[in-house]
């Protein structure tokens, strides 16, 4: 809500792979430049492991570590940290090309940060866009340097249904995209995916009849919402969606896949989505 839409615009409409990260030990925001330098040396060394390749005097990958001060929930939260890798092509004066980016963030992570000693920095959610090989190198460096642990953050079907309900209820000015739920029937020899698309206004109308108190969502309401969708689908296709598993939710606010991949679409709801994801990351850590 606080975040300046312009400053976080680059986070939108990209696929981010989610990780949970245990608290960083000995991390300090005053040393971000040093971290960038060390990380770039580490990347260069990792890339040259094994076979002898050219060692340029100038490193071919530039690392930038910066802080995104607006991106947090409360003042207790640590500001988000952005890491960007860009490649420099051989010709001089040519533009640097962004090849990988990842960011740590924490939105209302009090549950985890409250009881931590001072040496620890609580940034439980890590989002990555780029090749996995770079994720591995950057992750390894952070693990070695700050004694933390990265773990892929999957989103369970239950949490996906929460997202479906919550995001359906959000007001979006231009309702361009439909609400889509993808279900997977995994027990068949050939996996079958069922896509269920609903007009966003219809979905919102349904949700509004279910939600009792605005600004508050209960498990019961989410269940009712999903059950309504299921019975509607059953009436038309005679398929019980409750027997399948929800694997993807796309709405105008964001889209989320059960493998732990997310795409933010509305900057006004960015922190809201991040808050939910922070909560999921914390529950995976604790």
Partner 1 sequence: MQRRQSSKTPRQPLQAHDKNQTDLSAWRKGGRTDPEKSVQNHQSLQDQKNDSKQDSLEQALGYFEKLEHRVSLKKNSVLQEHLTTVESIALQTGLPPEGFDVLLKVALSGKLADAVNTRLLKSLVPASVIPEDAVVYSVSLLCVGKCSDNIQLLFLRWLITMFDFIDHKEQLHALYGFFFSFLQDDKMCPYVCHLLYLLTRKESVKPFRIRRLLDLQAKMGMQSHLQALLSLYKLFCPELVTITLSGKMKTYFKNSEGPWKEAINTVRRRNKGNSPVSQTLFLRTAQPQSRKRKWNAQLFIPASSTNKNSLEEDRGKNHVNLCRTSESLPVEQLQTFSQLLQNIHHLQLPSQMGSVLTNPLLLHYMNCIKDESVYLRLYYWMGQILQEECIWCVADNRYEEEFEDFLETIYKSECFLQEGFSACEEFLYKSLPLWDGSCCQSQILRLVSWIPLNTFSEMKSHLYDPLTQLFLTSSLYFKCSVLESLKELLRNWLNWHLDSESESPVQSLNTTLSGLVNVVADLINFVGLISTAALRLENNNAFLLYFILDFYETVCDMYLKYNLPLLIMLPAGVFYPALLSMDSINLNQLCYIMYRYRSNLVAAKENEQSKKKILQFKFSSQTYQEYNQYITAMVGCLWTSSVFEKDTHPQGLRMDDELLKKTAVREFKSSFNIVYHPAMTAYAIFFLQQACPEDTTLDFNIIKGKRWNWYLEYLYAQGLKGLKVFIESSISRVSKACQSKA
Binding status of residue 258 toward partner 1 by CB under 8 A: yes
Measured CA to CA, the distance from residue 258 to residue 158 in angstroms comes to 10
Question: Which of 92, 109, 89, 83 is closest to 22 using CA atoms?
Answer: 109
**Residues touching partner 1, count (CB under 8 A):** 51
Among residues 15, 74, 87, 140, the one that binds partner 1 under rule CB under 8 A: 140
Among residues 12, 32, 36, 38, the one that binds partner 1 under rule CB under 8 A: 38
Binding status of residue 56 toward partner 1 by CB under 8 A: yes
Among residues 6, 57, 93, 238, the one that binds partner 1 under rule CB under 8 A: 57
Among residues 9, 116, 205, 243, the one that binds partner 1 under rule CB under 8 A: 116
Q: Which CB sits closer to partner 1, 203 or 241?
A: 241
Question: Which of 187, 167, 185, 164 is closest to 175 using CA atoms?
Answer: 167
SS3 content of the chain, % helix, strand, coil (to 5): 40, 25, 35
Question: Which of 255, 273, 251 is closest to 178 using CA atoms?
Answer: 251
Q: How far apart are CB 176 and partner 1 at their closest, in Å?
A: 29
Identify residues 149-178 at the interface with partner 1 (CB under 8 A).
Answer: 149-152, 154, 156-157
Strand pairing of 120-121 and 179-185? Answer: unpaired
CA angle (40 as vertex; 132, 45 as ends), nearest 5: 80
Overall size of the chain counted in residues: 286
Q: Which CB sits closer to partner 1, 39 or 80?
A: 39
Among residues 7, 26, 171, 240, the one that binds partner 1 under rule CB under 8 A: 26
H helices present in the chain, as ranges: 5-8, 32-47, 110-113, 132-146, 157-168, 200-210, 219-237, 270-285
Residues that bind partner 1 (CB under 8 A): 22-23, 25-26, 31, 34, 37-38, 41, 44-45, 48-50, 52, 54-58, 116-117, 119-120, 132, 135-136, 139-141, 143-145, 147-152, 154, 156-157, 184, 186, 189, 191, 245, 258-260, 285
């Amino acid at each position: 809500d606080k975040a300046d839409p312009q400053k976080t615009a680059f986070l939108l409409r990209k696929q981010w792979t989610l990780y949970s990260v245990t608290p960083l030990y000995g991390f300090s925001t005053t040393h971000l430049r040093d971290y960038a330098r060390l990380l770039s040396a580490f990347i260069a060394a990792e890339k040259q492991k094994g076979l002898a390749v050219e060692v340029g005097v100038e490193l071919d990958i530039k690392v930038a570590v910066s802080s995104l001060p607006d991106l947090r929930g409360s003042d207790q939260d640590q500001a988000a940290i952005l890491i960007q890798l860009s490649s420099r092509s051989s010709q001089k004066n040519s533009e640097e090309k962004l090849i990988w980016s990842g960011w740590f963030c924490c939105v209302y992570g009090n549950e985890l940060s409250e009881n931590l000693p001072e040496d620890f920095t609580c940034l439980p959610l890590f989002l990555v866009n780029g090749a996995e090989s770079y994720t591995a190198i950057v992750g390894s460096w952070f693990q070695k340097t700050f004694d933390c642990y990265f773990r892929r953050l999957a989103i369970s079907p239950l949490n996906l249904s929460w997202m479906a309900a919550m995001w359906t209820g959000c007001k979006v000015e231009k309702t361009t995209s439909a609400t889509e739920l993808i279900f997977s029937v995994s027990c068949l020899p050939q996996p079958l995916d069922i896509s269920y698309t609903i007009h966003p206004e219809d979905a919102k109308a349904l949700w509004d009849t279910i939600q009792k108190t605005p600004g508050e969502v209960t498990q019961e309401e989410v269940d009712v919402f999903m059950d309504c969708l299921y019975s509607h689908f059953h009436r038309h296709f005679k398929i019980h969606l409750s027997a399948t598993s929800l694997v993807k939710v796309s709405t105008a606010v964001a889209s989320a896949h059960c493998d732990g991949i997310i795409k933010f679409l509305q900057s006004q709801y960015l922190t809201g989505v991040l808050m939910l994801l922070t909560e999921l990351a914390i529950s995976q850590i604790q």
